[in-house]
């Protein structure tokens, strides 16, 4: 009896040892994650600082450009004070720069532009690829809860069940021909009424034969069956009994 408590204690000690190892492992992973997060934050702060410096530089350049454009727009109006000195001092006339000669169109550039245009086949392939990408994006979207409820109600309702009259719209290539043949072969009251007079016109001997076939016969009657058939045939044709028929 003393051995069982000792075994339980040893088992508990082993479990505690395993749990302590697991705790140490988790603490180590937490320290690594904290250091990794710290490095990421430092990197992010550096990038934000760089972005702020670049944005301020861009704003300064935009301000300088607007200032230069405003000064260039005001420069023709500032030429009025010099008009008072034209009478006393003649300023040297500046020669106007020569007008640039019109350049001939470059045929190579036009050819390259024409070559860059996609063919109708390439356009069709590109459009098809865009359609596939859109479809994949739609399929990857997560269904909202109310949309899931609507779909569940639809599939649980009777409207989701197949319509029993759908066989009328199936073409012959999908088995409609076989269905029509089976329907024609099915017995109906009208067809049974039409088939009854035909059996009456067929003659009494055929009716008698069908009745004889239906009657269960013994082995001893198998020899007399041809003689009975012959007698039936003679009676149906209106002939009397002959000597050979005995």
Evaluate if residue 57 carries a pLDDT over 80: yes
Mean of per-residue pLDDT scores for the chain: 69
- For 148-168, the pLDDT digits (tens) are 788 778 777 765 555 555 555
Please give the residue that has the higher pLDDT: either 40 or 177.
Answer: 40
- Dihedrals phi, psi of 161, to nearest 5 degrees: -75, 150
Q: Given this model, what pLDDT does residue 26 score?
A: 92
- For 66-95, the pLDDT digits (tens) are 888 888 887 755 444 444 444 444 445 555
Q: Which of 49-63, 107-121, 134-148 has the lowest mean pLDDT?
A: 107-121
Neighbours of 179 (CB within 10 A): 14
236, 225 contact by CB (below 8 A): no
- For residue 137, give both structure tokens: 């994006």
What count of residues does the chain have? 246
What sign has the CA pseudo-torsion 161, 164, 166, 172? positive
Q: Which of 22-36, 140-154, 197-211 has the lowest mean pLDDT?
A: 197-211
Mean pLDDT value across residues 31-55: 90
180, 204 contact by CB (below 8 A): no
Please give the residue that has the higher pLDDT: either 31 or 154.
Answer: 31
Q: Which of 7-21, 147-161, 175-189, 211-225 has the lowest mean pLDDT?
A: 211-225
Closest CA to 212 of 201, 203, 221, 200: 221
d(CA 99, CA 182): 93
Which strand (E) or helix (H) includes residue 230? Answer: helix 225-237
d(CA 166, CA 184): 18
Evaluate if residue 48 carries a pLDDT over 80: yes
pTM above 0.85, yes or no: no
- For residue 2, give both structure tokens: 């003393």
**Strand, helix or coil at 246?**
coil
């Amino acid at each position: 009896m003393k051995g069982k408590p000792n075994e339980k204690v040893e088992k508990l000690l082993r479990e505690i040892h395993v749990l302590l190892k697991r705790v140490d492992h988790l603490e180590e992973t937490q320290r690594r994650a904290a250091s990794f997060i710290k490095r990421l934050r430092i990197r992010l702060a550096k990038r934000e600082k760089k972005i702020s410096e670049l944005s301020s530089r861009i704003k300064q350049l935009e301000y300088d450009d607007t200032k230069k454009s405003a000064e260039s727009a005001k420069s023709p109006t500032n030429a009025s004070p010099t008009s008072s000195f034209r009478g006393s001092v003649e300023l040297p006339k500046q020669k106007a720069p020569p007008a640039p000669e019109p350049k001939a169109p470059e045929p190579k550039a036009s050819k390259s532009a024409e070559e860059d245009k996609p063919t109708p086949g390439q356009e069709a392939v590109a459009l098809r690829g865009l359609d596939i990408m859109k479809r994949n994006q739609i399929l990857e979207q997560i269904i909202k809860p109310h949309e899931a409820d609507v779909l569940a109600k639809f599939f649980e309702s009777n409207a989701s069940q197949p319509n029993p009259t759908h066989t009328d719209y199936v073409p012959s290539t999908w088995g409609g021909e076989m269905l029509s043949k089976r329907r024609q072969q099915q017995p109906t009251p009208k067809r049974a009424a039409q088939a009854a007079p035909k059996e009456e016109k067929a003659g009494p001997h055929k009716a008698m034969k069908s009745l004889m076939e239906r009657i269960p016969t013994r082995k001893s009657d198998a020899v007399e069956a041809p003689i009975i058939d012959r007698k039936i045939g003679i009676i149906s044709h209106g002939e009397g009994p002959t000597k050979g028929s005995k």
